[in-house]
Structure 1
Amino acid sequence: MLNINGTLTLNPEANLSFQNRGLHYGDAVFETIKVSAGKILFWEDHYFRLMASMRIMRMEIPMNFTLERLEEQIFETVNASEKSNAYRVKMIVWRGYGGKYLPTSKSIEYAIETEILEHPFYILNESMYEVELFKDHYINSGLLSTIKSTNRAINVLGSIYAEENDYQNCLLLNEHKQVVEALNGNLFLVKGYTIKTPPLTDGCLNGIVRKKVMEILQNVPDYILEEASISPFELQKADELWVTNTILGIQPISKYRKKEYTNSVAKELLAKLNAKARLG
């Protein structure tokens, strides 16, 4: 099901105007959201991140882009979709077309797309999950890299590299050669009782599940949480590596080069993440 500016359509090939700044310039932001058992998981966090992303991109936020109105639009789209216990919802917001380069238009357009998911809550995937560094291009540290914009060229090229070389994912570096994140989510590193994740200043995505895992860890006295840069040399010394995102929750990495990892901490925290998702 697709919702374009409030109009529902079943046509997966529904047309958008060629004069679309998201298409021409990557002048768009998006949110990937999980709906489970009739509930939008972490909805307020997604909403406020979307508003922050639009402000960073200097988009003029319409008066009707309220928490309640967008929630209503999401559920309207979900309810018109094929029935399921879980959905992946993607909401894209772009600036109205206003010329070649200058964003002279203040209008905002949006689309909401739904896709059925198999599992309502997060499950631990313990299958082989091997990663490698993607070093052809680098993420720039700074504010723009922390938002979910449609400028994803590095992620696309990294995904092609991973597919061509039989990796399940790749880890991305910034211009300082620090490990920033995976192709599709944030990175956590476990060494003993210390759990590290790169800071936003390194250029990692301001992930919702990243935020929730950090909140959980602040209330678990067994572990020490560090928001600090990760060197590539630390990867092979770690006990565990995980990728976090809204759809998968916590995805353990099983192998990087000659190093193989366990997943006991990931398993423990995944149970706490599911509890947090259910409680809101």
Structure 2
Amino acid sequence: MLLYNNHFLPLQDLKLSVTNRAFQYNDGFFETMIVVNGKFRFWADHQSRMNEAAAALHLAIPAYFWEGELEEKLLQLAKQRNAIKYGRIKLKVWRAGDGLYTPQTNEIEWLATVDIAQPIPEAGVSVGICLGVRTCFSPLSHFKGPQAPLYVLAGIEKQATGFDDMLVLDTQGHVSELISSNIFWVTEGALCTPALETGCVNGIMRRGLTRWCLQQGIAVREVLAKPEELNQADCVFGANVTGIRGIERLVDQQLQINNAWLQGIKAGLQV
């Protein structure tokens, strides 16, 4: 089963037109969410980012997205898919109607699918530096969807180089993000992460981690930094809604992983 425009539908009954604007123009966005023991992680942050994406794309989102009905139905779908204990939900939203670049409407269509998932491994990862693509700030760069081919190309480069992940830089050579995670490092007791002007996604965990650190009295700095600055950090890690993983190596340079610090974050955020 899946959810299509707020209705449960068997997968084999899904029919999408070839004029679908998600297919034709990537005219939409998506959210990836994690459900654990019948509850979403950071649901309010997902709602905020969907609202921001809709505003940037001039999409008219139905009221039930914000009033509890969507959350309830997504959890029902997770239960039907036996993914209520630990599941990964992908919600794709796109502009309805036909037309060329100029749309005929701002109304939306949407589709949600659920898969059983597992917590990410604890082991640290080895990261290369992406040479083929760079991030660039735009009104669309802070949410997921419009720039997806960039991360596809970074993933192809990851496969070719044998690293676990790739560090993507912005057009000026500043640290931006990993393929599907924001990047963080600890320097002089402060949490550092790339500024949104690098073109990085404003991730759900980025929001949650920033909020938690400020509540704990930990300074948070959104910075423009070159990759070599990571070599001097006290702890380097990647994080997205699926969890947090230390980065133990950047290309051929060993990095610091402060496991006690990371475990404290995980406990505080319950991830």
RMSD: 1.9
Note the 1:34-183 alignment, pairs <5 A. 34-82=34-82, 84-119=84-119, 125-127=122-124, 129-183=125-179
Work out whether residues 83 and 117 of structure 2, in 8 Å CA contact, stay in contact via their aligned partners in 1. Answer: no
Calculate percent identity across the aligned residue pairs: 28
Does residue 201 of the first structure (1) align with residue 170 of the second (2)? Answer: no
Work out whether residues 44 and 67 of structure 1, in 8 Å CA contact, stay in contact via their aligned partners in 2. Answer: no
- Residue by residue, what CA displacement relative to the aligned partner does 1:225-244 show, whole Å, maximum 9, x if unpaired? 21111212212222321111
- Residue by residue, what CA displacement relative to the aligned partner does 1:38-85 show, whole Å, maximum 9, x if unpaired? 111111111121011111111122344333121122123122212541
Q: Which runs of 4+ in 1 moved over 3 A?
A: 12-15
* Structure 1 length-normalised TM: 0.89
Does residue 25 of the first structure (1) align with residue 25 of the second (2)? Answer: yes
For structure 1, the residue ranges without an aligned partner over 5 or more in a row are none
Structure 1 CA distance for aligned equivalents of residues 34 and 253 of structure 2? 32
For structure 2, the residue ranges without an aligned partner over 5 or more in a row are none
Structure 1 CA distance for aligned equivalents of residues 158 and 121 of structure 2? 22
Distance 1:158 1:12, change over 3 A: farther
- Residue by residue, what CA displacement relative to the aligned partner does 1:75-105 show, whole Å, maximum 9, x if unpaired? 2312221254111111110001331211112
| Secondary structure, counterpart of 2:228 in structure 1 | helix
Work out whether residues 59 and 95 of structure 2, in 8 Å CA contact, stay in contact via their aligned partners in 1. Answer: yes
CA offset at residue 201 of structure 1? 2.2
Work out whether residues 28 and 93 of structure 2, in 8 Å CA contact, stay in contact via their aligned partners in 1. Answer: yes
* Structure 2 length-normalised TM: 0.92
Does residue 239 of the first structure (1) align with residue 239 of the second (2)? Answer: no
User: Which of 232, 244, 248 does residue 250 from structure 1 map onto?
Assistant: 244
Task: Give the number of aligned pairs.
Answer: 269
Does residue 259 of the first structure (1) align with residue 253 of the second (2)? Answer: yes
| Secondary structure, counterpart of 1:30 in structure 2 | strand
- Aligned AA for 1:148? K
Structure 2 CA distance for aligned equivalents of residues 200 and 78 of structure 1? 32
Structure 2 CA distance for aligned equivalents of residues 137 and 7 of structure 1? 39
Who is 2:221 aligned against?
226
